Structure 1
Amino acid sequence: MKNIAILASGEGTNAERLIRYFEEKEEINVSVVIASRATAGVVKRAGRLHVPCRVVTSAGFASGEALLVLREYRADFVVLAGFLLRIPDDILHAYPQRIVNIHPSLLPKFGGKGMYGIHVHEAVLDAGEKESGITIQYINERYDEGDYIFQAKCPVLPDDTPETLAERVHQLEYQYYPEVIESLVR
């Protein structure tokens, strides 16, 4: 059995999708969700789905608390799902090529510090792009510069708003992220 830890900062829709997907898998288990804020929606989602959830603030990540939680729950693989903090070096070194992130654009475009959520979709529309999508990647010390694992595209429509584009990109995330993680963990 391989254990996955999910790190999230927001509502947790991707985290919930991952938990539900892996509930049906015998070889892979979501052993813990680590939320960066106690008020994050992912905390309640994890509770409803009976997955242990620990809140570790940015100070806790900096002090090494998050690595201790990952070890406590025997995480073999770390999955970022809307996680906004920088992953500290101690975790990067403990999990080389075993920390995966999903980004709501076709990197290298529209990546980097501050490029998350609706900000990405606004930037895509402001740039007049004809397509957007997702990038699943390993992470490293720099925001959105890790090795790419997978990309999927969707059109940017003439009447798109940041919200309508976000919804189409979310559908790609829900479809592909669990499958790609499963193939990596196996």
Structure 2
Amino acid sequence: MTTLDLGFLASHGGSSMRAIVGAIAGDGLDARARIVIGNNGDAPALQFAHAQGIPVRHISAKTEGSEPAADQAICRAFEDSGVAWVVMSGYLRKLGPATLARYRGRILNIHPALLPKFGGQGMYGRRVHEAVLAAGEHVSGATIHLVDEEYDHGRIIAQREVPVLPGDTVDDLQQRVMAAEPGFFVDVLRSLASGGALPNPA
């Protein structure tokens, strides 16, 4: 078993982060939540983490003066907190070169579609599900992948399918995929903690 020292990045609610923190508290995941960083100081994710006793930081180009300075601050905050793995939970900013270099191969993101379809710049939130429905897909889902310099591009770690049902609206599909994501992320991290290495996709 490997205890995972996790750092989180979130922009809004951080639903996967909340599920992971819950799994740690319930002894279902061998991990420690070291810090939660948000680019939005009012993010509910930061409020949740603070209430759980997890250190929080608001770091953005606005707080640091520039995007490169924010990147350096994020990297330092993770290093100073003893973070080994970075989890992106609805973080809507592109990571900078310092953080990417320091944690390459250890930054995990979840995307609300089955990559490589329906990914890339601008493909987030409702836009993803609109595209899935417009394409006439019968299956959607979630993808956990490593993060690199391109949006939704890094190596796929695992995927979980979610059906697209007849008559689905964008809201219907979005809610179904969102419901699957948090437990899926916990399962992947549990596999990582158990084996000490990232699982290979089936």
Distance in 2 (CA, whole Å) between partners of 1:175 and 1:2 is 17
1:81 correspondence with 2:93:
no
CA RMSD in angstroms comes to: 1.5
Matches within 5 A, 1:37-116: 37-58=40-61, 60=64, 62-63=68-69, 64-116=72-124
Identify which of structures 1 and 2 has the higher relative contact order when contacts are C-alpha pairs closer than 8 Å and 6+ apart: 2
For 1:110, give the aligned amino acid: F
Matches within 5 A, 1:6-21: 6-21=8-23
Match of 1:145 in 2: 153
Query: Is 1:134–1:173's contact at 8 Å kept on the other side of the alignment?
Result: yes
Distance in 1 (CA, whole Å) between partners of 2:191 and 2:81 is 21
Match of 1:32 in 2: 35
Task: Give 1:73 shift.
Answer: 0.7
Distance in 2 (CA, whole Å) between partners of 1:113 and 1:167 is 22
| CA-to-aligned-CA distance 1:102-143 (integer Å, 9 cap, x gap) | 000000111001111111111111222111000100111110
Task: Give 1:183 shift.
Answer: 2.1
Q: What is the count of residue pairs matched by the alignment?
A: 186
Distance in 1 (CA, whole Å) between partners of 2:10 and 2:31 is 19
Unpaired runs of at least 5, structure 2: 197-202
Query: TM-score scaled by structure 1?
Result: 0.94
Unpaired runs of at least 5, structure 1: none
Match of 1:23 in 2: 25
SS of corresponding position for 1:69: helix
Match of 2:190 in 1: 182
